[in-house]
């Protein structure tokens, strides 16, 4: 699918994986609507072709408003692309020194990472389904973000792994559900990416993480995630699949 001349929604679009994807899509001629919380939008850089919208992915009302804005923005830029990057990753053991895992924290992680992803997918898919079909009846693509933690969750990642495992699990049935509409659904499962969150950890810890990657022995770059997302958009035969972007790493228990 050609990116130029389309509209795209990217959640978590103010920074990190989402920020890199926003830039990549805008550079290729898409009109991009970057969704993020207010704090992220306030700090986001101005980019030609990018409109920042405040939206909590767990809110049906806020996401619907953002989708309606993107879908109605321009007849020359139909909404065809969605990339779900919004997410959080706090850690806590099932039972730790302070007692059992906080249930509200577990619920919050699942609410944002899994339910938020599905919320955006379902509402955006309805809007994409109203566009004129392209070659082979194609109308668009939704790309979700999981993690290698969906497959090899480490100690303390039970909430995060459960939420990302859910994203992996919904990929194929969503693709099957939306096949009659001409909407593809894909998921990218990144390994260890050098995002702003990683910038807060000690250099020694970062070096240890990089050394664990078979090749190349470094952290992934947000721009590499964006590059893969662009490739998925442009490759019309990719559907219903999860692609690991991890340098070949298989995470150890800790």
Cα-based torsion angle of the residue sequence 227, 233, 234, 240 in order, rounded to the nearest 10 degrees: 110
Residue 90: HSE in the Cβ half-sphere, 13 Å Cα cutoff: 13
Question: What are the structure tokens assigned to 131, written together?
Answer: 């566009």
Q: Is residue 237 among the annotated active site residues?
A: no
Q: How far is CA 130 from the centre of its chain?
A: 23
For residue 8, which phi and psi values (nearest 5 degrees)?
Answer: -135, 145
Q: Which of 160, 205, 225, 237 is catalytic?
A: 160
Tell me how far apart the alpha carbons of residues 52 and 58 are, in angstroms, rounded to a whole number: 17
Closest CA to 106 of 122, 95, 121, 120: 95
Provide the 8-state DSSP code for 24.
Answer: H
Angle, CA of 58, 1 and 221, to the nearest 5°: 60
What are the residues facing 96 on neighbouring strands? 99
**Block residue for tokens 């779900």:** 84
Within a 10 A sphere around the Cβ of 234, how many other Cβ atoms?
13
Tell me how far apart the alpha carbons of residues 166 and 118 are, in angstroms, rounded to a whole number: 10
Q: Quick check: helix, strand or coil at residue 42?
A: helix
Tell me how far apart the alpha carbons of residues 13 and 35 are, in angstroms, rounded to a whole number: 5
Q: Which residues are catalytic?
A: 160
């Amino acid at each position: 699918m050609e990116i130029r001349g389309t509209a795209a929604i990217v959640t978590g679009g103010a920074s990190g994986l989402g920020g890199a994807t926003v830039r990549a899509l805008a550079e290729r001629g898409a009109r991009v609507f970057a969704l993020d919380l207010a704090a992220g939008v306030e700090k986001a850089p101005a980019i030609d072709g990018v409109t920042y919208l405040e939206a909590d992915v767990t809110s049906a009302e806020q996401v619907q408003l953002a989708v309606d804005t993107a879908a109605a923005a321009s007849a020359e830029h139909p909404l065809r692309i969605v990339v779900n990057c919004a997410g959080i990753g706090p850690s806590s053991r099932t039972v730790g020194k302070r007692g059992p895992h906080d249930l509200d924290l577990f619920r919050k992680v699942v609410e944002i990472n899994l339910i938020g992803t599905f919320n955006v997918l379902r509402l955006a898919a309805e809007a994409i389904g109203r566009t004129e079909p392209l070659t082979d009846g194609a109308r668009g693509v939704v790309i979700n973000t999981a993690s290698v933690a969906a497959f090899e969750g480490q100690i303390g990642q039970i909430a995060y792994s459960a939420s990302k495992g859910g994203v992996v699990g919904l990929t194929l049935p969503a693709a099957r559900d939306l096949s009659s509409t001409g909407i593809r659904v894909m998921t990218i499962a990144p390994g260890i990416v050098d995002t702003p969150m990683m910038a807060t950890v000690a250099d020694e810890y970062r070096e240890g993480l990089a050394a664990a990657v078979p090749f190349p022995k470094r952290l992934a770059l947000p721009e590499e995630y964006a590059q893969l997302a662009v490739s998925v958009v442009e490759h019309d035969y990719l559907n219903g699949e999860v692609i690991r972007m991890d340098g070949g790493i298989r995470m150890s228990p800790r």
